[in-house]
Amino acid sequence: MSAGTPEVQAVNELVARARAAMSAFAHATQARTDEAVTALAWSLCKPEHAKELAESAVRDTGLGNVADKIIKNQRKTFGTLRDLLRVKTVGVIEEDKAHGILKYAKPVGVVGAVTPSTNPAATPVNKAMMAIKGRNAIIIAPSPAGWTTTARAVELMRSALETIGLPADLVQVLPAPVNKALTNALMQACDLVVTTGSQNNVRNSYRSGTPAIGVGTGNVPVIIDSSADLKDAAEKICASKTFDNATSCSSENSVVILDDVYKEAISALEAVGGYLAIAREKKAIENTLWIDGRLNYKVVAKDAAVLAREAGLPDAAQAARFFMVEETGVGPKHPFSDEKLSLVLTVYRASDFEKAAAQIQAILDYVGRGHSCGIHTQNMDHARYLAEKIDVVRVLVNQAHTFGNGGGFNSGLNFTLSMGCGTWGGNSISENLNYRHFINITHLSTVIAEDKPTEEELFGDYWSRYGK
């Protein structure tokens, strides 16, 4: 991209301001840094702000619902703050006396953060908190649809920083209208790119020449095992599937039910608001959900009644909380095996657990490689089997996926809105995005007692088997 283009000039001005702000923040203590992170958190957690930004997000993007976005804005921010206040990112953060190593945390620089339309407030604030925790500055590149909401969230964060006497330019946003050229210019000018959203943006971030972290596509499949507590499983799947109208990449897209509990599991799902579509209704849902092979944004992430009306489903369906469609295949000829971003749950049937696990892997191999899967079971051997055999970063046991995958108060995964999927999903990280990705580490190495084994200790077993 030419250095003289308006996009490059605009980005260079933002980056210069970010670097100046970082200089003023460079000598912040841990306490001062944590104060800044807390200020950012409160800018979204504050009830009137959480509500305002939730309303703005739904109004601007048409995705999700206000009540759940308020919860998401507050819960994710609160959980992220909990995690960040428990760790050190200034000065010496670790001492390994046995190996004579002291580790010092340093900023990575100016972070360019690409954020999606599904979470135009929560994701920018979440990333800003992590970036500021590392004493970095951040410039956010929002989706065009979410720009107004993101810009307002940034305005609130900047005001919060000024209130505590820190430079507002630690947090900035690309000017409207945001476009591909502007976002690409930011990717090339910053020191680290962190991308959540479309896979095109993820690939562009890796091609930018700047160190980059991207996340993969979700398409979560979950097993209901023979030993599952069916009522508990149904309640958790329903709560997770319907939250914010399935905008989360961690929302269950498919459920694989074991034969011997199939009818009972379907009944349990119906009892919590699921509607099992018959064959002609399934076809009507398919024709409504996809137009010319693309998701129909008239119904994506909308209330169940909207999809039911558009598909011409009966009154009983319009009163449902989510829809179930039975499927047997995976791949382009079976669109329900893909990520749907809607209140549609694909249902598979498996004769035994190993076949259920194979079905899980087939779904992920088609869409969602590396992301995550889950199981409802009382048999931890089955859970461990999935962890050993399925190529995913996260396997959740007896959890509502949307509330556990990106961090929960009753699980050990850290809070985030950006889930790395490892090399399986074309990503550079195989964990939840967290503060460690926003710091560089200097290792101070001092002399220790010599740690040099003998040749016999290292090669002895090999020599005894194969000779020298």
DSSP 145-213: GGHHHHHHHHHHHHHHHHHTT--GGGEEEPPSSP-HHHHHHHHHHSSEEEE-S-HHHHHHHHHTSS-EE
CB 255 within 8 A of CB 402: no
DSSP-assigned beta bridge partners for residue 256: 223, 348
SS3 43: helix
pLDDT at 321 over 60: yes
Q: Within its chain, how far is the Cα of 92 from the centroid? A: 29
pLDDT at 465 over 90: yes
Please check whether the two domains, 6-215+433-444 and 220-405, share a CATH topology.
no
Domain boundaries, the chain: 6-215+433-444, 220-405
CB 285 within 8 A of CB 253: no
- What's the token pair of residue 232? 């508990």
Question: What's the rounded mean pLDDT across residues 237-250?
Answer: 96
CB 370 within 8 A of CB 391: yes
pLDDT tens-digit readout, 411-420: 999 999 999 9
Length of the chain: 468
Residue 464 makes CB contacts below 8 A (sequence gap 6+) with: none
In this structure, the strands spanning 290-291 and 294-295 are: antiparallel
**Which position among 45, 190, 249, 373 bears the catalytic label?**
249
DSSP-assigned beta bridge partners for residue 105: 91, 441
Backbone phi, psi, residue 42, to 5°: -70, -25
- What's the token pair of residue 379? 């048999």
User: In 10 A of CB 46, how many CB atoms?
Assistant: 16
Give catalytic status of residue 421 as yes or no: no
pLDDT tens-digit readout, 428-437: 999 999 999 9
User: In 10 A of CB 387, how many CB atoms?
Assistant: 13
pLDDT tens-digit readout, 2-44: 667 999 999 999 999 999 999 999 999 999 999 999 999 999 9
CB 324 within 8 A of CB 277: yes
User: In 10 A of CB 91, how many CB atoms?
Assistant: 12
SS3 344: strand
List the one residue out of 293, 281, 285, 335 whose CA is nearest residue 310: 285
Question: What's the rounded mean pLDDT across residues 241-253?
Answer: 96
CATH superfamily of 6-215+433-444: Aldehyde Dehydrogenase; Chain A, domain 1 (3.40.605.10)
Give me the pLDDT at residue 317, please: 94
- What's the token pair of residue 254? 């498919």
Q: Where are the beta strands (DSSP E) in 184-312?
A: 192-195, 212-214, 220-224, 252-258, 274-276, 290-291, 294-295
Give me the pLDDT at residue 1, please: 57
Give me the pLDDT at residue 135, please: 98
List the one residue out of 226, 264, 236 whose CA is nearest residue 398: 236
pLDDT tens-digit readout, 346-399: 999 999 999 999 999 999 999 999 999 999 999 999 999 999 999 999 999 999
List the one residue out of 40, 12, 45 whose CA is nearest residue 112: 12
In this structure, the strands spanning 344-350 and 322-326 are: parallel
- The side-by-side arrangement of strands in the sheet containing 101-107 is 91-96, 101-107, 439-445
Which amino acid type is present at position 308?
A
Helix-strand-coil percent breakdown of the chain, rounded to 5? Answer: 50, 20, 30
Q: How many CA atoms lie within 13 A of 171 on its CB side?
A: 31
DSSP at 412 = S
Longest dimension (CA), the chain: 79
CB 167 within 8 A of CB 25: yes
| Angstrom distance (rounded) from CA 105 to CA 159 | 27
- What's the token pair of residue 90? 């200034």
pTM value is 0.95
Domain 220-405 is found in CATH 3.40.309.10: yes
CB 245 within 8 A of CB 66: no
pLDDT tens-digit readout, 81-137: 999 999 999 999 999 999 999 999 999 999 999 999 999 999 999 999 999 999 999
